[in-house]
């Protein structure tokens, strides 16, 4: 096998690199504390179970995270099925690999975002919906589209035209005085912040709905959520200027607490 033109002895590539055969979660450490660790660990447990993949002990992972010498950091935990030769098939004897990376936690931006509907759409799959697998090519292409269009963010639909999420965030929309967030049973990621808003109800009851792209023309207020980026309000969706362009006060208080 060759790596960057140099021959190396190892012929077994990690299946995560070969096939995207793995999953991950990205969390933050803030003021020395892991934010929502139980929920992130449960995401790894659930994904490993659905993908029939091994998982290290939680204590072993926490011991590794404790070695990160930074009170504030972005931490990414990657689980792969392990190394193997060519071919899609695998045996249960394959030992899973796990990786941890960290980087500085950036300052979170809170200015209202100018958005548009993405031209690129997400594939539908009830099996992979909600999972953060290593196959992120859709998000790579969406990020490229967002940057080429000089926008702050894109609102992304699935191949049937239903609103799913933003480029790398979940979305909440207020229409006719009621909050909605899209159903994610065929596409999208069930983000940790989304889960906590639905459970804690800092903005009251939120309807999990089928949101058609045409419904965006009468949105009164909206925001997107991401563990690393935080909460960000929307200013415009295409030509539609939102009447309310700030985060709900109760939501800001909840996040800061």
Residue 77 lies in domain? 2-104
Do 230 and 248 reside in the same domain of the chain?
yes
pLDDT on residue 225? 98
Do 100 and 167 reside in the same domain of the chain?
no
Is residue 2 within 8 A of residue 8, CB to CB? The reply is yes
**Integer Cα distance of 25 and 227 in angstroms:** 10
87-105 tens-digit pLDDT: 777 766 578 899 999 999 9
217 to 164, 211, 225: CA distances (angstroms):
16, 11, 21
Q: Which of 104, 136, 167 marks a domain boundary?
A: 104
For residue 255, give the nearest of 191, 205, 188, 203 by alpha carbon.
203
pLDDT on residue 175? 95
pLDDT on residue 241? 96
Do 161 and 64 reside in the same domain of the chain?
no
Residue at token pair 């939501």: 251
Cα 215 to its chain centre, rounded Å, is 23
Do 45 and 165 reside in the same domain of the chain?
no
pTM as predicted? 0.92
For residue 78, give the nearest of 136, 29, 2 by alpha carbon.
136
22-44 tens-digit pLDDT: 999 999 999 999 999 999 999 99
Q: Which of 56, 81, 104 marks a domain boundary?
A: 104
Q: What is the CATH number of the domain that holds 129?
A: 3.20.10.10
């Amino acid at each position: 096998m060759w790596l960057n033109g140099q021959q190396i002895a190892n012929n077994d590539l990690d299946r995560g690199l070969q096939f995207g055969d793995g999953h991950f979660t990205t969390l933050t450490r803030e003021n020395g504390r892991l934010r929502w660790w139980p929920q992130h660990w449960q995401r790894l447990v659930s994904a490993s179970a659905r993908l029939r993949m091994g998982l290290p002990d939680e204590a072993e992972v926490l011991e590794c995270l404790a070695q990160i010498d930074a009170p504030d950091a972005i931490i990414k935990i990657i689980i792969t099925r392990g190394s193997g030769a060519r071919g899609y098939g695998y045996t249960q004897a394959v030992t899973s690999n796990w990786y941890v990376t960290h980087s500085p936690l950036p300052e979170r931006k809170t200015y209202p975002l100018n958005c548009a509907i993405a031209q690129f759409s997400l594939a539908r799959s009830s099996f992979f919906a909600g999972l953060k697998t290593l196959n992120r090519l859709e998000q790579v292409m969406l990020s490229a589209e967002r940057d080429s269009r000089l926008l702050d963010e894109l609102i992304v639909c699935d191949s049937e035209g239903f609103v799913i999420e933003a480029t790398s965030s979940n979305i909440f929309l207020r229409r006719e005085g009621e909050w909605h967030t899209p159903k994610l049973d065929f596409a999208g990621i069930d983000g940790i912040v989304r889960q906590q808003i639905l459970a804690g109800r800092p903005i009251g009851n939120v309807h999990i709905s089928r949101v058609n792209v045409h419904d965006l023309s009468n949105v009164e207020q909206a925001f997107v959520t991401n563990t690393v980026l935080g909460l960000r309000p929307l200013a415009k969706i295409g030509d539609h200027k939102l009447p309310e362009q700030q985060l709900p006060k109760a939501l800001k208080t909840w996040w800061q607490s």
